[in-house]
Chain A
Amino acid sequence: MGSLMSEMGVKALELGIPLSVQLDLTYRCNERCVHCYLDHHDHGEMTLAEIKHLLDEMAEAGVLFLTLSGGEIFLRKDFFEILEYARELTFAVRLKTNAILVRKREAERLCELGVENIQISIYSHRPEVHDAITLVPGSLKRSIAAIRFLKSYGLKTTIANVLMLQNMQDYPQVRELARELDVEFTIDPTITPKMDGDRAILNLNIEREALHRVFHDEALVGDVEEFCRPAAAADEDEMDSLPCSAGHTACYVSPYGDVYPCVQFPLPTGNVRRQRFVDIWRDSEQMNEVRSIRMRDLPTCSGCGHMTGCTRCPGLAFMEGDMRGPSIQDCEKSFARTGVPSKNLMAKRPAGAVGLVQIQGVRIAVAGAVSA
């Protein structure tokens, strides 16, 4: 299926089709996760009628993969009406939820409607850690109970484990929990800034040494040597490649109808309450600016040795002030993975700090490239 999926992505890119959209139905939430990037007040969510109209427009525009997220999606009393309508329009629907409102009845309904995958955030196997992150006592117990209900109906479920200082040491046990529950497991070591630009929560990000341990954990990454090998130099094709799918085959719509290139890329491009979805997608000046960028257009990153192996996020770069700039969090990840500082990290170091460690890092890179 991998290659067919890739072919589909290439074709969607050629045709200018937004194959994947994340639609947040609400920013309201029944948890108060300490690392969350959202403001949980309701500033005027789209109504059921508005959402149905949007879904019609998205189906017409060619959207196939629809992720319904939030906030907590089950706080919308019309959630199942939205989902039912989305399935009538034959979207492949994925859900992101904390699932603490999911019981047998909800699991049964999700099964009837045919949801492709349900992703549930679990921060730790220990209630005292998980509940201290969600700030809701009993939330771990309820989320795990929900997973069991979902599994009993044969629904594909994924545990998402976001790593931060508070739970960094627990990910092996969360992975084991996923195995016991017979669900998929995914890990994300990045805390992102709030959508309003507030970067204070970045202090929750795990430290460089911990990131290094994650990237060198064979159980997570497979072949550590291959995973951590410094990237090969970019060729001309790679210089002409796209930074990511945001704005090319994917975008994000907020509960208020604002359209962005991605949930992590808060560049307003239009609002579906005033414009047709497809018109924003095709004609928005901002969307087309994002679309115009190739790797060679990135002033710092195009000259960085990590370019072909980096997970650089244009949205995080945008939140740092320049969508064509580097994203320091991805520079840190590349460094933790390979031991080689990025061009951006090198530039940020004060002159007096340039010393042996940095030189050693570069030497490792050269040795790695030679041995490869």
Chain B
Amino acid sequence: MSEGKRYVARSKEIAARRLGGETMIMSGRDSTLYTLNEVATVIWEAADGTTPLDEIVTTKVCAEFDVTPDEAMRDASALVTELGNHGILLVSDTPIAAAMAARATQRGA
């Protein structure tokens, strides 16, 4: 993959809870409900805004699941793009500070 580093952070605008191995997420924008499988849950929980996505894939996903790094990175990229589009994950090419995630929670007004 030729793309640069991507950083991901959980939006504070959501509600979320582990349910078994999966994670249930409710969007604060429109109360839409999402469910993340076990692999996506690992990425979600590691999305601290400061760990690059490729490092999450290498140290978490590939370490816990039987998957090649390329395959895992491809799936992870698609996942974070989709979650980013729904506003439940913040995606950036620079580290994401906690304050930025907090500002993203402000709605309406």
- A and B: partners? yes
A200 at the interface (CB under 8 A from B): no
A90 & B17 in contact (Cβ 8 Å cutoff): yes
Given contacts A1-B33, A92-B26, A116-B31, contact A15 B109 (CB under 8 A): no
B19 at the interface (CB under 8 A from A): yes
Set A4, A19, A90: member contacting B14, Cβ < 8 A: A90
Of A23-31, A57-65, A218-226, A355-363, the one with at least 4 CB within 8 A of chain B: A57-65
B4 at the interface (CB under 8 A from A): no
B19 & A15 in contact (Cβ 8 Å cutoff): yes
B41 at the interface (CB under 8 A from A): no
Measured CA separation A114–B31 after assembly (Å): 11
Set B13, B16, B19, B31: member contacting A8, Cβ < 8 A: B19
Measured CA separation A113–B33 after assembly (Å): 19
Interface residues of B in 24-81 (CB under 8 A from A): 24, 26, 28, 31-35
B17 & A112 in contact (Cβ 8 Å cutoff): no
B107 & A114 in contact (Cβ 8 Å cutoff): yes
A11 & B19 in contact (Cβ 8 Å cutoff): yes
Q: Return chain B residues, CB-CB under 8 Å to A40.
A: none
Given contacts A15-B20, A114-B105, A152-B108, contact A93 B33 (CB under 8 A): no
A155 at the interface (CB under 8 A from B): yes
B107 & A12 in contact (Cβ 8 Å cutoff): no
Residues of A within 8 A of B (CB): 1, 4-5, 7-8, 11-12, 15, 17, 19, 59, 62-65, 87, 90-93, 108, 111-114, 116-117, 152-156
Residues of B within 8 A of A (CB): 12-20, 22, 24, 26, 28, 31-35, 105-109
